[in-house]
Amino acid sequence: MPSETAAKCPLCGKPRAKEYRPFCSRGCRDRDLNQWFDEGYRMPAHEGPDGGTDDDRFGGD
């Protein structure tokens, strides 16, 4: 079994393109970027809905 799953776009599941990895196209890459920007604008003061990588805030400085 080849590990094809490692080479798929995380957004749409299509084969990713080397140029836009880990995404398949600029469209998917932009979509992901927009998500980051959106979160950045919100600047969550409390815990985020994800609550996964809070360690960054404590171990930062």
Would you tell me which residues interact with Zn ion (CB under 5 A)?
9, 11-12, 14, 24, 28
Q: How far is the CB of 1 from Zn ion (least distance, A)?
A: 23
Shortest separation between residue 33's beta carbon and Zn ion, angstroms: 13
Closest listed residue to residue 11, CA positions, set 3, 2, 27: 27
C-beta closer to Zn ion: residue 26 or 37: 26
**Nearer to Zn ion (CB atom), residue 10 or residue 48:** 10
Return the DSSP state at 19.
G
The span from the CA of 9 to the CA of 29, in Å, is 9
| Residue entry with tokens 């950045």 | 40
Nearer of residues 7 and 11 to Zn ion, judged by Cβ: 11
